[in-house]
Amino acid sequence: MSSRKYSKELVDGPNQAASRSMLRGVGFTTEDFSKPFVGIASTGAKVTPCNMHLNKLSEIVESSVNSSHGKGVLFNTITVSDGISMGTQGMKYSLVSREVIADSIETVVGCLGYDGLITIGGCDKNMPGCLIGMARLNRPSIFIYGGSIKPSKENTDYVTVSEKVGEFSKGNISQKELIHFEEISVEGPGSCGGMYTANTMASAIEALGMSLPGSSSQDATSASKEQDCVDAGKAIMNLLKDDIKPSDIMTKEAFENAITIVIALGGSTNAVLHLLAMAHSIGVELSLNDFTRIGKNTPVLADLKPFGSHYMSALNANGGIQPLMKILLEKGLLNGNCITVTGKTLKENLKDVKPYKNNEIIKSFDNPIKGDSHLRILYGNLADEGAVAKITGKEGTSFEGKAKVFNSEEEGVDAILNDKIKEGDVVVIRYEGPKGGPGMREMLKPTSAIMGLGLGDKVAFITDGRFSGGTHGFVVGHISPEAADGGPLALVEDGDLILIDAKNDQLTLKVDDNEMEKRRLSWQSPIKTPKKGVLSKYAKSVGSASLGAITD
């Protein structure tokens, strides 16, 4: 099959003279018209440290494609910042941006006849957005991760600052100390440095086979990250030559590999949401039950933030995720026959990878952080369609307490910071799901406040919203059906007993059926969905979190 499957329609023959004329205006030469066109989608922007350097990386990619006998064409799509908007109404746009990014990449590439695609992402939603766009287009494609930020000299980061807010509200630190941590903890560029959502998704995408080996762990400002961009040109031309498309790479087995890596690394609950959506976009049947099945046999091995001690930069210095993948392959937990963007199988990519020098960051199978998955898919009368918990075992595996109910994140944060949450409480924040928010805000602000107040192992937190990868503690999110749909979460009242059982994967509201039916008959939704604009469109089209909060 011609590697110019799409561009030839755009520029070949006398009838396309006007199209060629426009392209000459942006620098195309006569020779370029006979080369494969490769779209290079950058999420670069100065709105966040995660993405501030990506346009420079995209220029390296462009040069690499051009020197590999292709024609690289740069374009941009948007990014927002979870970290900046956290705890505000702006956070409602975060998950929405995943769809905007996917739609915009599909739109540009579909319109302009690019034969191949390279995308470069940094902040959380960029990555699944890029992959969803790639999957829909199904043209030879590579994802490049922008890389991690390094921790401060005092070993702090963005999540540290979030938790210091809780310490300040308790009176444990002064405002001067709080501002000190604010000033030193984020020195860009690069994505948040722990095993939060950005690094989780980068690792999942590398394990999926859609990034070149090593891409997920490299520091944002490093020679190895620049080399990752240089290598992409030759790699995309090889994919074009052999017509290797995302559908050849993003198979069910490859998604199972990605899930395995997420668990072994102790990754973010957002990976559940995004992997489900990515699988849907390529036509692979993936469900919440796949996470449970794989989690039974996969230990958590990585001592990484937020619940561990190390940052991604330390893991990168120790070899990145490739040695971990080789360990898992040798244990029979990865499928080595999956094809990757190198054109080789995962097993072939890992053949010459050397083991870690020690087990300081990645523990041995004999001494895991947790013997099975920290990502627990819970069901019960509060979550008929499922919920996602992130429980490492440090918090225990079971919690029963009385509900303290709030109808928005702001109400919950106010109660936490004003000492209204006590030991034994189950904080319930609802109407923050995909439709109810709309936009399914991340609950880092309330969970960080809980940790900063020293209540991390003394209270539980449940929501139909979701969590930042920086969240830790006894937390359950993605509760489906969500409160806005009249799910059982909408019927919880202050003082109700709630049991979270992470051993038996149960989420139970201890209220009898007759009382629940009585409440249901009198329930009225308190939320007001926006009448127009992107949030309105999103609320009308988005599906359940249990299916990945997909919009198509």
| CB contact at 8 A, 232 and 161 | no
Token digits of residue 458? 């003394």
Residue 387 CB-half CA count within 13 A = 36
C-alpha distances in Å from residue 275, one per residue of 280, 437, 525: 8, 21, 30
Buried b (16+ CB within 10 A) or exposed e, 161-187: bbbbbbbbbeeebeeeebebbeeebbe
For residue 146, give every residue at least 6 positions away whose Cβ sits within 8 Å of its Cβ, in sequence order, or none.
43, 50, 51, 53, 54, 57, 120, 121, 122, 189, 190, 191, 220, 225
Q: What is the phi/psi pair of residue 143, to 5°?
A: -105, 135
User: Which residue has tokens 């604010």?
Assistant: 182
Rounded to whole angstroms, the Cα distance separating 127 from 129 reads 5
Is the N-terminal amide bond of 306 cis, ω within 30° of 0? yes
Between CA 430 and CA 484 the distance in angstroms is 8
What's the per-residue H, E or C state across 262-278?
HHHCCCCCHHHHHHHHH
**Would residue 468 show up in a list of annotated catalytic residues for this protein?**
yes
Question: Which phi and psi (to 5°) does residue 123 adopt?
Answer: -70, 165
d(C-alpha 302, C-alpha 279), whole Å: 25
In the three-class reduction of DSSP (H, G, I as helix; E, B as strand; rest coil), residue 220 is classed as coil
Secondary structure (3-state) at 54: helix
* Amino acid sitting at position 270: N
Q: How many residues comprise the chain?
A: 552
Rounded-to-integer distance, Cα 223 and Cα 228, Å: 9
Decide: residue 474, CB within 10 A, 0-12 exposed, 13-18 middle, 19+ buried. Answer: buried
Identified catalytic residue from 85, 94, 162, 468: 468
Task: Say if residues 65 and 233 touch (Cβ distance below 8 Å).
Answer: yes
**Which residues are tagged catalytic?**
468
